[in-house]
Structure 1
């Protein structure tokens, strides 16, 4: 069968398709294998805090993922026994108190743009959460599509505890969608830590596993999704995100158009032929 890329003008493909397996990350770990990219926040001695540099690079990388041909799922994890302790106290919080309003807005827009990029990239994002998951770390977990955690994890939207509002990086819009308005209000008004078992009971965690199984579980889940119809999965992510701002009638029409588009893919034909042959379909993402 002719590769679908043969039907695409090379100039169009060059500007809209790229491989990211060879990307050299500077401020976190990055690897790609079998369609699964793994982002590792790797400052374990400080519980993997974010810096101005890592925020900006994460924002830009998730933006590039919109054009990646070799990444179908992303796993976001922390090195060691913690996920992410939020913004680095010395490298971010200290400098922020000396900035004027225009520069502070530059920072808050940058952090918000990271969440926008995570939601806009078509790849499902799985957050693997152990230990501390606080502040901006909790936001990264929230902005992911799926979350697998451990009982010993502590997730805290602790902005209130440092004198800030809970409305940070989209928390007041997104967190209630995941766990409900009342529960989100509890966390955002108090900044208290949410234990792993409670996070699972509330639906913030999709799965709860032992710490020693966390990486394996996240990678296995990612591999399962990566083996699915990549284009269709991207459409699902887009519609899950966009339909919150639609009426039911608008959502049904949008889904009708989206599903018709998916019916034009070769993966849809592969699934039909596999069904007729009583075989499992092998999807190729086109």
Structure 2
């Protein structure tokens, strides 16, 4: 559906541009449909704070309506991905809170994962160095993960006296690496090295540290240049079908694919094939 055929009032409430978003607690840049979100506290290995958690949650939620962002790269500055929740700005204050406020916090962190899974843009995590605690969860919540041989991923929760069931880890991690391997990581809190992570399927591939961001952005650009409406449907179905039977999944995919066949991109692909050309997708 082209913009000229859509009621402006509908567009106003359901489409927005995020290329110019001014981030307060990280770096946000958009180029050619690819957003690069950089966690930018390198002196502390990019830990999260209450404020950055909330801003990340809200931004990923807004991506549902973004018409100028088609894929996201998530990366950390300074050779590390993310060391988790800041010990002094999050962990220390949590010790002083009562149950209602603690539940407020854990629900907020969970909402970040929900927003990452619900946004239609595929997310590519570029993981180098330390990737621990909430950082490991954000990598887990991404759609694709590129790593380096020197990366160290650790779900540290039990090492600080907490359960491994944090922010969806017990549901999502076994689906990525398998039940036994997830149990290993969640019960021990040990670090998963880059090469082992690639063997386990945690990483889609390993890159040289100096090339990691460029390769992640190239992968995101490849995705962004594809049929972005259909890519959003793929992400939705990959997520929703976890809770479906095979029969339900097949029917849901039949409906989803029929919807994609109504898009202009489907027609563009056919016409390009007939003309022996590469299709140029426009996401509609």
Mapped pair 1:68 → 2:71: no
Note the 1:92-241 alignment, pairs <5 A: 92-241=90-239
Give the drift of 1:157: 0.2
Gaps of 5+ in 1: none
Q: Distance in 2 between matches of 1:53 and 1:157?
A: 22
The one-character-per-residue Cα deviations of 1:117-165 (angstroms, maximum 9, x if unpaired) are 0000000000000000000000000000000000000000010100000
The one-character-per-residue Cα deviations of 1:94-133 (angstroms, maximum 9, x if unpaired) are 0000000000000000000000000000000000000000
Query: Which residue of the other structure, out of 27, 31, 55, is the alignment partner of 1:57?
Result: 55
Query: Equivalent residue for 2:258?
Result: 260
Q: Could you say what secondary structure the match of 2:146 adopts?
A: strand
Normalised by the length of structure 2, the TM-score is 1.00
Paired residue total: 284
The one-character-per-residue Cα deviations of 1:73-103 (angstroms, maximum 9, x if unpaired) are 0000000110000000000000000000000
Mapped pair 1:10 → 2:8: yes
Q: Distance in 2 between matches of 1:216 and 1:115?
A: 25
Give the drift of 1:33: 0.4
The one-character-per-residue Cα deviations of 1:202-260 (angstroms, maximum 9, x if unpaired) are 00000101101101110110111110000000000000000010000000000000000
Q: Distance in 1 between matches of 2:228 and 2:193?
A: 33
Q: Distance in 1 between matches of 2:76 and 2:85?
A: 14
Q: CA RMSD in A?
A: 0.5
Gaps of 5+ in 2: none
Q: Distance in 1 between matches of 2:20 and 2:80?
A: 27
Mapped pair 1:46 → 2:44: yes
Q: Distance in 1 between matches of 2:133 and 2:11?
A: 39
Q: Distance in 2 between matches of 1:224 and 1:238?
A: 19
Give the drift of 1:187: 0.1
Query: Which residue of the other structure, out of 246, 259, 279, is the alignment partner of 1:248?
Result: 246
Normalised by the length of structure 1, the TM-score is 0.99
